[in-house]
Amino acid sequence: MEKTESKIFLTGIKPTGSPHIGNWLGAIRPALEAAASFEARYFIADYHALNSVKDPAALRRNTYEVAAAWMACGLDPQKTLFYRQSDIPQVFELATLLSAFTPKGLMNRAHAYKAAVAVNLGKGEDPDSGVNMGLYTYPVLMAADILLFDADFVPVGKDQVQHIEIAVDIAEAVNRNYGKEIFRLPQPFVGETTQTVTGLDGRKMSKSYNNTIPLFVGEAQLKKTVMRIVTNSQSVDEPKDPDSCSVFALYKLFASPEEQDDLAQRYRAGGMGWGDAKKTLFEKMNEALTPIRNRYEELMKNPSVIDRALNEGAQRARKIASEKMEKVRRVVGL
Ligand code: ADP
Ligand code: TRP
């Protein structure tokens, strides 16, 4: 993609749990790389999290954790607009307005809702059992997040692409009705070079699979977690295949090409046990994670630094949002 400084990148981060290495390499790092070259608006999607997190202490803690994580990984709130969704009332006003342009059938086809219905039907339950309106209308709120801030590109994982397509559909319905380009049409930005990070059991690392390596655990815990990576039962002497091994897959994400070659040779030569391979991985990973872990711990000890950053971000974001919302109201006749 061409480097056009005027393009706006926007993404929402759902505060539903502590970030893991997959989140870092698959979402945080690519988004921060984009923020170095483009105008970026990144926010904590706390109202989205409310659909599933009903414990106030947990929601608050998750929000701090996510904010501290992004700041520790390099987000500079002076350069990147960084705010909490719940601090921007215009998001919710726009969501109500967009609802009037959103066909119900479009929500019936949204993945998250369809998946919930499929699970219910599989269990012989009512299709809508346990589905709240927040889940059902999730794509409308997400469209409001995106359209209010004139996003051109929305960095997301593949699972979110449909939501962006829905945002485009809704934006087009509004633009068509008023014969004006009120809303900019966003595009998903799915990093092609971003790999899927493997979890402890060889599947995709995900909180839902309980196979994650958390980003910010202490050194001892990190080592313990790395030692739990599932390997086959080959003995120390046997030559091993690096390409089918989760330990090696993770090592590749942290090591230089020379270091990767070196470890691959040790695999193929035999005489190296899984314990040694894991220790090599732990040391490399720990080296990369130590500086960000230190910054994270510092921020979590000083939540007022996080509050200040998010409050300043909210002020700037509300200014952008209220100007946009005023224009929208005028066009629709409110
Ligand atoms: P989880 O699957 O652990 O619940 P989320 O769905 O909250 O993670 O993902 C947040 C972001 O992190 C998304 O952009 C997603 O694409 C990215 N991400 C999550 N897991 C991985 C992974 N294993 N490899 C690469 N990116 C990932
Ligand atoms: N739905 C996204 C997720 O589950 C989070 C999100 C909310 C978002 N609003 C957004 C992402 C707007 C991009 C743009 O990860």
Query: According to the 3-state scheme, what is the secondary structure of the chain?
Result: CCCCCCCEEEEEECCCCCCEHHHHHHHHHHHHHHHHHCEEEEEECHHHHHCCCCCHHHHHHHHHHHHHHHHHCCCCCCCCEEEEHHHCHHHHHHHHHHHCCCCHHHHHCCHHHHHHHHHHHHCCCCCCCCCCHHHHCHHHHHHHHHHHCCCCEEECCHHHHHHHHHHHHHHHHHHHHHCCCCCCCCEEECCCCCCCCECCCCCECCHHHCCCCECCCCHHHHHHHHHCCCCCCCCCCCCCCHHHCHHHHHHHCCCCHHHHHHHHHHHHHCCCCHHHHHHHHHHHHHHHHHHHHHHHHHHHHCHHHHHHHHHHHHHHHHHHHHHHHHHHHHHHCC
Mean pLDDT of 278-303: 97
Percent of the chain exceeding pLDDT 90 equals 92
Ligand 1 centroid from CA 270, angstroms: 34
Q: Could you identify the atom of ligand 1 that is nearest to the CA of residue 198?
A: 23
pLDDT of residue 3: 46
pLDDT tens-digit series, residues 154-210: 998 888 999 999 999 999 999 999 999 999 999 999 876 667 899 999 999 999 899
Average confidence (pLDDT) over 47-58: 96
Ligand 2 pocket at CB < 6 A: 11-12, 14, 45, 48, 142, 145-146, 154, 156, 160, 163
Hey, what amino acid is at 84?
Answer: R
pLDDT of 90 > 60? The answer is: yes
Nearest CA to ligand 2 atom 3: 14
- The rounded distance, in Å, linking the Cα atoms of 213 and 216 is 9
* 8 A C-beta contact, residue 174 and residue 187: no
Q: Which ligand is nearest to the CA of 163?
A: 2
Alpha carbons 167 and 333: distance in angstroms, whole number = 22
Average pLDDT of the chain is 95
Distance CA 111, CA 226 (A): 33
Among 20, 44, 158, 160, residue to substitute to test ligand 2 (most atoms within 8 Å of Cβ): 160
Ligand with the closest atom to the CA of 11:
2
Give 217-251 pLDDT, tens digit per residue.
999 999 999 999 999 999 999 999 999 999 999 99
Span 135-147, mean pLDDT?
A: 97
Which ligand 1 atom lies nearest to the CA of residue 157?
16
| pLDDT, mean of residues 116-129 | 96
The pick from 23, 42, 48, 183 for probing ligand 2's pocket by mutation, whose C-beta has the most ligand atoms within 8 angstroms, reads 48
- 313 — alpha (psi -120 to 50), left (phi > 0) or beta? alpha
Asked whether the whole model's pTM tops 0.85, one would answer yes
Banded pLDDT at 45 (limits 50, 70, 90) = very high
